[in-house]
Amino acid sequence: MGLKLKTASGGGGPEISKGTCFAFPLAVSPSYLRIILTPLSSSGLEPDVLENSMFIQTEVTPNPASLKFLPGRPVMMLGTLDIRSTEGASQSPLAQALFAIDGISGVFFGSDFISVTKSGGNWHQLKPVVLGAIMEHFLSGEPLLNSETGLPAQEDSQEDSEEFFAEGDADTVAAIKKLLESHVRPAVANDGGDIKFRGFRDGTVYLAMKGACSGCPSSTATLRHGIQNLLKHYVPDVQAVEQI
């Protein structure tokens, strides 16, 4: 997770990795493991091909195990969703399709992007298969979440969603959350992830990293030298930042 945070003096913004663009005029086979390209006519896309076309941009992230996919349309309408198991994938047809790919171990849905994390294999082989699964899902018209058909989506476990801090620290926590929302989360989203406030105790802020930022080799340095310095500068009660 490598990012630069904006400061009050108008410093540099987050660094966005440049990705690769894919524009496939296609007919999608019943299996997400195959992408069938449809030839173009001399005059351009035929109407039936245009209806089955999709433009997906991919971006590398600071985490070599994760790639960011931007389908060019909204993904999560509200909040974010971090899925790290096949059991958790049951709440999303797209997550189920992605977890069915050998080597995929994590799926993160942001407002307009999908971060996919691998535990094995290489992206040269995995990326076309992931692209096929994402394309087939969006072209099928299926809802992203089963909650859209009546089943609740679980963004975090109960443990992850619980916050802890003393009642007397409420004002400090409010200031911390405001800085995270305005300065940190937009930059982290550019890297294919998210950050959640978990707690504040004895001067230490506890944060949870999501998506591509979870397990990123540079996340510790970012927390200590980026986010910690920012919070200490604006909130005097903050002494340290820890990831949990």
Q: pLDDT tens digit string along 162-206?
A: 899 999 999 999 999 999 999 998 888 888 888 899 999 999 999
CATH fold of 158-243, please?
Answer: GMP Synthetase; Chain A, domain 3 (3.30.300)
Mean pLDDT to the nearest integer, 113-127: 95
Phi first, then psi: what are they for 19, rounded to 5°? -110, -165
pTM for the whole thing? 0.71
Res 107 pLDDT > 60 = yes
Beta bridge partners of 235: none
Domain chopping of the chain, boundaries? 20-149, 158-243
Distance from the first to the final alpha carbon of the chain: 16
* From the candidate CATH numbers 3.40.50.410, 3.30.1370.70, 3.40.50.300, 3.40.50.10800, the one assigned to the domain spanning 20-149: 3.30.1370.70
Q: Do domains 20-149 and 158-243 have the same CATH topology?
A: no
